[in-house]
Chains A and B, each alone.
Chain A
Amino acid sequence: MNFWNDPLKVAAAWLEGIFTGWGMDAVLAHVLVVFLGVLLLITILMVLDIFLVWIERKVVSRFQDRIGPNRVGPFGLIQPFADIIKLIIKEDTTPDGADKVVYNLAPVLSMMSVLILWAVVPLAPVMLGVDLNVGVLFLIAAGAIGTLSIIMAGWSSNNKFALIGGFRQVAVMVAFEIPMLTMLMIPTIFAGSMNMNAIIQSQNIWYFIISPLGALIFLIAAIAELGRAPFDLAEGESELVAGFNIEYSGMKFGMFYAGELLHAFTFGGFWAILFFGGYRFFGLEQVSPFLAILILIIKAMVGYWVIMWVKYTMMRIRIDQMLGFNWKFLTPLSFALLLVTALMNALLAGADSWLYITGMFLANVVTAWIALEIARSVARKERERMEGKKVVEVGHS
C-alpha cells in the first residue's frame, strides 16, 4: 500500500499513528482523523464553489454573446473573491416580523443539503466517503432537506413573494422527485445494487447507451430539483422579484447562491456517475486515483455545462404547464420506462451482451416514440377543441 495507489488510507493511517504517538486514545484518534477528512472534503468543495461562480458567469456570458468578468486578475479569475468580500461586508438585514431562528437556519440547511450529497460520491475506486448500500436513495433524502430549507426560507421571511416562491418551489420539487426516484431505479436494475461505487464498477458500457431516455428524464428531473430555468418558478424575477430568497442579504444570500451552483455541479457529477461511468474512462482510473478524480471532475463539469446550456437557452414555463408536464407526461413515461426496462432485463438476462445492449436501446427508443406520439395526438385534440376546427398540420402529412 503506497501513497500513490491509495492516498486516503495511507494519509489516515499516518495521521492516526502520529495522534496515538502523542498518547491519544485509538478510538478518539480515529474519530479525529475521520473528522479532519470530512473537513478537508468540505473545504475543497467550498473553494471549488468559489471558482464555480466564475465558471457560471463566464459560460453565461458566452451564451449571451458577452465577454463576462475580465477586469480583476487574468480572465477575471479574481472576480469571485471580490464578490465574496462584497457579500461579507454587506449589511446583514433581518425583516420585521421574521421568524429569526428559522430565518437564519434556512441558508445553512440549504448549503448542508448539497454538501451532504458528497458523502456518497465515489471520487476514485478507493476514495469514497461512505460506502452506503442505499447510496441512490440517499440522493433523494438529501433533496428532502433542500426542499425543507426552501419552505423554511419562504415562510420565515414574512414576505408574500417569498412565501409564494417557497410554495412553488416545493410544488416543483415534490412533483419531480417522482420521475427522479423512478429513473434512479434504472441504473439500480442494471447494476443490481443501489451502491454508487457498485453502479460505477458495473458500467462496462455507459448506461447512457443502454438507457438514453432514462438519462434524459433524470437530467430533466435534476434541473427541476435544482430550481434552474426553465423550472426556476421559485425565483421568477419578473413576477416574484427574487422568490424565496428575496429578504436575504449578504452572505446569507451567498449561501443560497453558492449552494445552487454547487448543487448544479453535484448533479452534473451524479449524472456522470449514474449514466456515464463516473470515474471510469478506458481503464485510466486504474493508473492512479488522482487521474480517476480528474476524470470524474471533467465529466461532472460536462454535466454542469449541459445544465447551464439548458438554463440559458430555455425560457421559464408557467407553474400549470410545469405541473401538467410532470404529472401528465413525465411521471407516466418514467413509470412505463421502468416497467419496460425491468421486463427487458428479465427477458434478456441470459442473452449475449451485444443483444442485451441493442435490445435495451431499441426498447428505450420505442418507448420514447410511443410517448411522443401519444403526447402529439393529445395536443392535437386539445388544439382542435380550442379552435373548434381541424388543424392543418404543417410539414407532416
Chain B
Amino acid sequence: MTAEQIIFLIVALFTLGSALMVVTTRNLVHAALWLVSTLFGVAVIYTLLNAGFLAVVQVVVYIGAIAILFIFAVMLTRKDLRDNTPQTNKNWWAGALVAVMTFAGLAFMLQGWSGLSKTAAAIPSGFDAIGLLGDQLTSPNAYVLPFEVASVLLLAALVGAVYIAFNPRSGDSKK
C-alpha cells in the first residue's frame, strides 16, 4: 500500500465516522460540529485528488457559511438542545433495506469496471486547473448558460428570502 492510500483510508474512515456521529448524537450542536468535521474530511479527499480549488471552496462555502448557519439556526430555534425523542421511526427497516440494496447494486455495477484498477495519468506540470475552470464557466461553447441560470436561481432565492422577511406594516413604524 502506498502512503497516499493509507492517508485516503484514514481520511475516509474519519469522514464516515463523523457522518455516523451526525445522525446518532443526541445533542443538536454536537451534530452540527460533527457535520463540520465530515465536510472537512471531504475537503481533504478533494486535496488528495489534486483538486485544491474545490477543497478550499468546500471549506469556505460549507464550513464558513452553511455549517455556521446551521449552528445559528439550531441555537436560535431550540431552547433545549438535547433531543429526547426516539431517533428512528417504525420504517427504519425499509430505509436500511434501500441503503443495503443501493450499495449492493453499485458494488455489482462497478465490479466489472476497468477504471477501478487503473492508476490516474500524472498531471502535466504547469497545468492551470482554475484557469480552465474559469474558461469553461464563461465560454459560450461550454457551460456559460447553466452557470448563468444557476446565478439567476440564487438571485431569485435571495429576493424571495428578503420578501418573506420584509414586513411592510412594521417596516417604517419602528423608527
A-to-B contact residues, CB < 8 Å: 27, 31, 99, 102, 132-134, 137-138, 140-141, 143-145, 147-148, 151-152, 155, 163, 167, 170, 174, 177, 194
Contact = CB atoms under 8 A, between A and B. Distances in A.
A141 B64 contact: yes
Nearest to B52: A134
Q: Is the interface of A mostly helix, strand, loop or mixed?
A: helix
A134 B130 contact: yes
A369 B48 CA distance: 47
Interface in B75-113: 75
B67 A148 contact: yes
A140 B60 contact: yes
Contacts of B30: 99, 102
Contacts of A194: 130
Contacts of B33: 102, 152
B29 A148 contact: no
Given A144-B59, A148-B36, 13 more contacts: A102-B29, A102-B33, A133-B128, A134-B130, A137-B56, A143-B64, A145-B59, A145-B63, A155-B71, A163-B75, A167-B72, A174-B68, A177-B64
B68 A141 contact: no
Nearest to A177: B64
Nearest to B59: A141
A328 to B, nearest CB: 14
B144 interface: no
B64 A140 contact: yes
Contacts of A138: 56
B57 interface: yes
B122 interface: no
B3 interface: yes
Contacts of A155: 29, 71, 75
20 contacts: A27-B3, A99-B30, A102-B29, A133-B129, A134-B56, A137-B53, A137-B57, A137-B60, A138-B56, A141-B59, A143-B64, A144-B64, A144-B65, A147-B68, A155-B75, A163-B75, A167-B72, A167-B75, A170-B72, A174-B68
A133 B52 contact: yes
B154 to A, nearest CB: 14
Nearest to B3: A27
Contacts of A132: 52
A100 to B, nearest CB: 12
A382 B130 CA distance: 45
A197 B36 CA distance: 30
Contacts of A177: 64
A137 B53 CA distance: 8
A147 to B, nearest CB: 6
Interface in B128-148: 128-130
B60 A144 contact: yes
Contacts of A167: 72, 75
Contacts of B56: 134, 137-138, 141
Most buried by A among B56, B57, B63: B56
B2 to A, nearest CB: 9
A322 to B, nearest CB: 17
Given A134-B56, A137-B57, A144 B63 contact: yes
Nearest to A130: B52
A132 to B, nearest CB: 6
